[in-house]
Structure formats: structure tokens, C-alpha cells
């Protein structure tokens, strides 16, 4: 886009030009810099330029405009006093004109106040004498402040069809990173961040200012102007905190939109809330796309895994942009797919996060066991993890854990200075309540949520440690003997975590008729997201509805071969005072799933004993219910 600002001296062309340049991320060109030395000398002597003097100058400017247009555009400040001059500078169809004008006395005062400008204030009258009223573009009176002139110019440019492809609301870490990701792919983006006096002021503009390399970003604090800046049908990606803030934002946004527009919620919203919102917007004929996004700040900036749900028409409207933004799988395909109807996109993101919780907790348990049980240094544990990461255990979380174990601050390990109280924003706990709602055993991942809860009870833990004399004990066994077992235990615990998550997804998908495609879900989780790993690559290839997850080739062998290693590692850890909630829960969950003759007969007998709840018998295949009078008297 090319913007030319014209006007006589003192109208504020440079101030406006620099303002537009900053706001639109376009380079600023000052026409005075294109004058020949002869012209400059003439003007310094107070002699007006003739049309002949101006011709080579106008030609140089026209050439420069064309050259800059090829590189993405520019803002030019140039007197261009006559329509003939302006015509010579009209070089492209995507070119906009803003003509500044003001009262002679105001301009005179401004010029007298200037320093270091080669024009003499006396030139003003001659300029005004030849100035012609423009036949095209915006004629703007400069009586207002420079900020008002800038805003009026931006309003004009937007009204002239300078429409942006997509809008991103919320300039937090994720919103900003996704917007920059889009801009890098050549997509024009309007940025919106609310204005909160003294707290959030000029936030979106600061993003533009910090990234002059992306001229296709435009910042807004005014919601209406933000909406008006967008190409129709509008596509708006909300990246704001989950919960009430989403509904409040929809309340203010929806009245400004048209029925064919699309709103996307890219935060970690609870999937049932998302379903309500899909229905709410459907009620007014509008599309709503609840969309999981994984990958943290770096993923969002360089390529996240994207999980959109809602109606497919909505997805089709933005598929092109989402594919540009997303990470690429090993075949070069984007890690985004239309997940399914309703809140399914947010649902699978929620389950993704609970697997993430499980994976993180298992690694935390192993770091502790290796460091304080087997006496490894942090650097040794890091080296062990790095070694594991070269093979089938490769995962992003293993990699970052190996990394953080080496991070020093002032010569000391930063990890040891971090308070041992884990935070959580809700997705893990929502997965657990969903698993309970659908009757799906979820103990390994539930324990990851519970472990975070217990970690927050620091004061009680400290008091109890003292009262009960608890200490982490050194394990006398040889690390070299234990290490292969620990590695196999880790491999199996990971399989169990993933199995629990995929089982929950399958159950909910069947119950809701979503028909989720799990090979495809695993595929979009092979890159960009936090739980990307070699294991996910094999799930993407091998997942099948025909057999249970635990029976998949590659996984079946691990389940068979590693069970005892997991049990042994849990055993040695527990006896030496290490809490291993996810490793232990995984071992129990797996055993419970493969025990043919379980202890549940006792439970049934107890229930029938005290409550006449009845039971079925192994020796009666009809499935009939029995009740026994358990007391002899």
C-alpha cells in the first residue's frame, strides 16, 4: 500500500507520515530528501521552484514509490501542491492520498517555530498561491492535535478499503504470537487489545511498534474500528482468558458483527461452555469455532498444533490461515484438522492437556528418584534423559526437562530455587471430572492433577515431614542395574497415560456421535504441541478402532515386557520415601485392567451383605441377580 500525504509547509506532513509509518509498519519517505542540491539551494535562498525544477524531482519520487510498492508499500510526505504533480505521483491502484490544509496564520506560526529546516517561512505565501484543491483523496484540516489528525487519517484509510484479512483480539503471549505468526506468512492482521487506564494502554500498538518488519499489522483499542477494519465476512480470533471473559467479550462484539461473520475462541475453554456458545451463535445465524491451540509461546509464534471444532462452514472460512500458521508434520502437512462438531476441538485440547499433566508428573517423579534416591547430579539426570531422547522415548517434554536440569543462575541450579508448588488452570481437573461423568477409569492422569493439588499444601507437607520424620532415603542399589528398568518403567507409564487419554476421547466421541478420527488427532499432535513425541508418531500410524490401544503393535510388547520394571521402580521408590503418584497409579491401573480374577467379588459380597444390593454368579451364565441372607441367625 502506498500513502501520499500532501500539503504546504507547516501542515504537519512529516508528523503524520511518521505516525502512519509507525502504525502501519510502512517505511517513511520524505520528499525533501529527493530534491537535487540545486533545488535545495534555490529554496534556501527563498526562491520558489519552477515546474521545470520540479520535474526530475517528481520523477525520482514516482520511481521510488513504485520500487517501495514492490517491497510492500511506503508512506510519502510531499508538498505536491498542484493536481498535475499529484497525477505524476499516482503510480499504483493501491495508493491513497491525504491532503493536509490549514489556516495561513496557524501554518505561519508552526513554521516560525521550526529549527533546522531549509525552507524560509516567507515561502509559505508562494506555496499557498499555487496550491490547488485536490480532485481526489482526503482533504483534512489540521486544526486538531497530531493524534487526532492521525486517527482521522487511519479512519479514512480503512474506509477506503484498506481491509485486513483477520482480526486477533487479546495481545497476551498467545494472541501476540499467533498474530505475528500470521503476519510472517504475509497475512494482514488487525490487532485488538482492550484499553484499561493505567494498566493496559497502547498494548496492541506496542506489538506493531516492536515489529516494524511486519507492515501488515494494524493496532486498535476501539472495538468498533477494529471490526470495521476487517474484510467481510469477518474472521476474528479471540485469544483471551477462558470463562466469563469470553462471554463478556462476545456480548460487546456480537452487536457489531454480521450474521455471516466468524468468531474463533482459541483459548483453553471448557468444552461444554464452547458447545453453549456454538448454539448461542447458531441461534443468530453466526459461526463460532471453538479451537484448541497447543505449543505455548514458541509454538504459537513458529507453528502450533491447532484443533478447531464447531461447524465445518466456519472452519472452511479460515482453513487457509490456520494451515499457514500451523506446525508441519513429518510429511509436511499442517498440524491442523477440522476435529468435529460442537465443543470437540476444545474437548480434545482438554484431554491433550491432561496427558501433558501425566507426562510432566512422571518426569518430575523420575528426576526426584534419580537425584535424591540414586544420588545422580542434575547434569547426570539431564544426560540420561538426553540419551533416552535419542530413541523411541523422544519427546518435547523429555527434551525440555533435560534442558532445564542444566540451567544455572548465579552458578547454582535454578530448579532448586523454584518453590515446589505446581500451578494449574483447569484443563486437567476438567478432564478428570469428564472421565468420572463418563465412568472412564482415569487414575494415572487423575493422580497428576491430585499431585499438583497436594504440592500446593507446602506448609502442611513441611510440618508433617518434621512430625513424622519423613526423609527421602538413598537407594543402595546400583544405578547401572536400575537404569534400564527405570527406562522401561518410563516407557510404559507414558503408554498408560496416552491410553487413558485416548480411551476417554473415544468414549465421549461415541457417546456424543462426534465420530472423531484418532489417527488424525494423533497426527496433528506429532508436531507443534506440548505432547509431541515418537510415541505420538506411532499412535498416528497405528491407532485402530479394531483393537484396544494396549494391543496396538509396538505397544502390546511394551505392556507385556515392562510391567514388572514399572512395579519394581514403584516399589523401590515407595519404600525409600518417594511419592510416585502417576507411576504407581499407572502400575495399578494396568494390573487392574489385566487381572482376570479380581477382588471385586468381595465388594459385591459386602454390598449384598449390608444393603441387599444383589450380585451375579460365575456359575450362572444367565446373568441373574441373587441375594443372600448372610447372617446365620
Under the rule (CB under 6 A), what is the footprint of ligand 6PG?
Answer: 268, 294-296, 353, 356, 423-425, 427-428, 529-530
Residue 589 and residue 496 in contact, taking contact as beta carbons nearer than 8 Å: yes
The residue written with cell numbers 444367565 in the block is 622
Helix ranges (H only) for 405-553 are: 427-437, 443-455, 458-467, 479-512, 518-524, 534-542
C-alpha cell read off for 292: 484448541
Residue 116 or 423: which CB sits closer to ligand 6PG?
A: 423
Question: Least CB distance from residue 242 to ligand 6PG, whole Å?
Answer: 9
Contact (Cβ atoms closer than 8 angstroms) between residue 324 and residue 354: no
Report the distance separating Cα 246 and Cα 163, nearest Å. 25
Contact of 237 with 166, CB cutoff 8 Å: yes
SS3 8: coil
Q: In terms of CB distance, is 382 or 427 closer to ligand 6PG?
A: 427
Name the minimum Å distance from CB 435 to ligand 6PG. 16
CA–CA separation, 519 vs 540, rounded Å? 4
> What is the rounded CA–CA span in Å between residue 277 and residue 319?
20
Q: Compute the least distance from the CB of residue 15 to ligand 6PG, in Å.
A: 43
Q: How far apart are CA 375 and CA 476, in angstroms?
A: 10
Q: What is the dihedral of CA 236, 242, 244, 245, to 10 degrees?
A: -50
Catalytic, out of 176, 349, 487, 558: 349
And the C-alpha cell for 69? 510498492
- Nearest CA among 351, 368, 371, 359 for reference residue 399: 359
Secondary structure of 219-254 as H, E, C letters: EECCHHHHHHCECCCCEEEECCCCCHHHHHHHHHHH
Is the link from the previous residue into 233 a cis peptide, with omega within 30 of 0? yes
Calpha distance 570→447 (Å, rounded): 14
In this complex, which beta carbon is closest to ligand 6PG, that of residue 426 or of residue 441? 426
Residue 85 — φ and ψ, nearest 5°? Answer: -65, -40
Catalytic residue list contains 349: yes
Q: Minimum CB separation from ligand 6PG for residue 287, in Å?
A: 23
Q: What is the DSSP string of 153-180?
A: HHHHHHHTT--BSEEEE--SHHHHHHHH
Neighbours of 341 (CB within 10 A): 17
- Cα separation, 331 vs 486, in Å, equals 33
Looking at the Cβ atoms of 530 and 585, the one nearer to ligand 6PG is 530
Question: Grid coordinates standing for 304?
Answer: 502450533
In the block, residue with C-alpha cell 484543491:
133
Specify the residue, 516 or 531, whose C-beta has the smaller distance to ligand 6PG. Answer: 531
Distances (CA, A) of 512 to 25, 349, 355, 448, 507: 47, 17, 21, 26, 9
- Identified catalytic residue from 221, 275, 356, 499: 356
Q: Are 396 and 536 in contact (CB under 8 A)?
A: no
Nearer of residues 100 and 293 to ligand 6PG, judged by Cβ? 293
Terminal CA-CA length for the chain: 96
Cell of 377: 547430579
* CA pseudo-torsion sign 38, 40, 42, 48: positive
CB of 171 to ligand 6PG, least distance (A): 17
Q: Is 534 noted as a catalytic residue in this protein?
A: no
| Catalytic residue set | 349, 356
Amino acid at each position: 500500500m502506498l500513502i501520499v500525504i500532501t500539503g504546504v509547509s507547516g501542515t504537519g506532513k512529516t508528523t503524520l507520515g511518521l505516525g502512519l509509518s509507525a502504525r502501519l509498519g510502512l517505511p517513511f519517505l520524505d520528499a525533501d530528501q529527493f530534491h537535487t542540491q540545486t533545488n535545495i539551494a534555490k529554496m534556501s535562498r527563498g526562491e520558489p521552484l519552477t515546474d521545470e525544477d520540479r520535474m526530475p524531482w517528481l520523477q525520482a519520487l514516482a520511481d521510488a514509490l513504485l520500487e517501495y510498492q514492490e517491497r510492500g508499500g511506503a508512506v510519502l510526505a510531499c508538498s505536491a501542491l498542484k493536481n498535475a504533480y499529484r497525477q505524476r505521483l499516482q503510480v499504483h491502484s493501491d495508493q491513497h492520498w491525504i491532503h493536509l490544509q490549514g489556516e495561513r496564520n496557524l501554518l505561519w506560526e508552526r513554521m516560525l517555530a521550526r529549527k533546522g529546516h531549509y525552507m524560509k517561512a516567507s515561502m509559505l505565501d508562494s506555496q499557498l498561491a499555487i496550491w490547488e484543491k485536490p480532485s481526489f483523496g482526503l482533504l483534512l484540516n489540521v486544526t486538531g492535535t497530531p493524534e487526532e489528525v492521525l486517527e482521522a487519517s487511519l479512519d479514512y484509510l480503512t474506509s477506503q478499503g484498506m481491509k485486513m484479512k483477520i482480526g486477533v483480539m487479546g495481545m497476551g503471549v498467545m494472541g501476540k504470537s499467533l498474530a505475528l505468526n500470521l503476519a510472517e506468512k504475509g497475512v494482514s492482521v488487525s490487532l485488538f487489545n482492550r484499553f484499561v487506564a493505567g494498566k493496559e494502554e497502547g498494548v496492541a500498538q506496542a506489538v506493531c511498534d516492536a515489529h516494524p518488519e511486519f507492515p501488515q499489522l494494524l493496532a486498535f483499542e476501539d472495538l468498533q474500528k477494529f471490526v470495521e477494519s476487517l474484510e467481510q465476512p469477518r474472521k476474528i480470533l479471540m485469544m483471551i482468558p477462558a470463562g466469563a471473559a469470553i462471554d463478556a467479550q462476545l456480548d460487546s462484539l456480537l452487536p457489531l458483527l454480521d450474521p455471516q461473520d466468524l468468531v474463533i475462541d482459541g483459548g483453553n475453554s471448557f468444552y461444554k461452555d464452547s458447545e453453549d456458545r456454538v448454539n448461542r451463535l447458531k441461534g443468530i445465524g453466526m459461526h463460532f469455532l471453538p479451537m484448541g491451540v497447543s505449543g505455548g509461546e514458541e509454538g504459537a509464534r513458529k507453528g502450533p498444533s491447532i484443533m478447531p471444532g464447531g461447524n465445518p462452514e466456519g472452519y472452511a472460512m479460515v482453513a487457509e490461515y490456520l494451515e499457514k500458521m500451523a506446525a508441519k508434520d513429518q510429511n509436511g502437512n499442517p498440524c491442523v484438522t477440522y476435529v468435529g462438531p460442537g465443543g470437540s476441538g476444545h474437548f480434545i485440547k482438554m484431554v491433550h492437556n491432561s496427558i501433558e499433566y501425566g507426562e510432566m508428573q512422571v518426569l518430575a517423579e523420575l528426576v526426584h528418584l534419580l537425584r535424591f534416591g540414586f544420588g545422580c547430579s542434575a547434569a547426570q539426570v539431564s544426560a540420561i534423559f538426553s540419551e533416552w531422547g535419542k530413541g523411541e522415548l523422544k519427546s518435547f517434554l523429555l527434551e525440555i526437562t533435560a534442558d532445564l536440569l542444566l540451567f544455572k543462575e548465579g552458578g547454582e541450579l535454578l530448579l532448586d530455587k523454584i518453590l515446589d508448588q505446581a500451578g494449574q488452570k483447569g484443563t486437567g481437573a476438567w478432564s478428570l471430572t469428564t472421565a468420572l461423568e463418563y465412568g472412564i477409569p482415569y487414575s494415572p492422569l487423575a493422580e497428576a492433577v491430585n499431585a499438583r493439588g497436594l504440592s500446593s499444601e507446602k506448609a502442611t507437607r513441611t510440618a508433617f515431614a518434621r512430625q513424622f520424620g519423613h526423609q527421602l532415603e538413598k537407594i543402595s542399589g546400583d544405578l547401572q542395574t536400575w537404569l534400564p528398568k527405570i527406562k522401561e518403567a518410563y516407557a510404559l507409564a507414558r503408554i498408560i497415560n496416552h491410553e487413558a487419554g485416548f480411551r476417554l476421547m473415544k468414549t465421549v466421541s461415541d457417546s456424543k456421535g462426534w465420530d472423531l478420527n484418532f489417527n488424525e488427532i494423533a497426527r496433528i499432535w506429532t508436531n507443534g504441541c506440548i505432547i509431541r513425541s515418537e510415541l505420538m508418531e506411532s499412535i498416528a500410524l497405528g491407532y485402530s478402532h479394531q483393537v484396544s490401544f494396549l494391543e496396538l503393535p509396538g505397544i502390546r510388547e511394551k505392556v507385556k515386557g515392562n510391567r514388572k520394571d514399572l512395579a519394581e521402580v514403584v516399589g523401590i521408590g515407595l519404600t525409600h520415601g518417594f511419592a510416585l503418584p502417576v507411576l504407581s497409579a499407572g502400575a495399578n491401573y494396568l494390573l487392574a485392567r489385566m487381572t482376570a480374577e479380581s477382588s471385586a467379588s468381595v465388594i459385591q459380597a459386602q454390598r449384598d451383605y449390608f444393603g441387599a444390593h444383589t450380585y451375579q454368579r460365575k456359575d450362572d451364565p444367565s446373568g441373574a441377580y441373587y441375594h443372600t441372607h448372610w447372617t446365620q441367625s
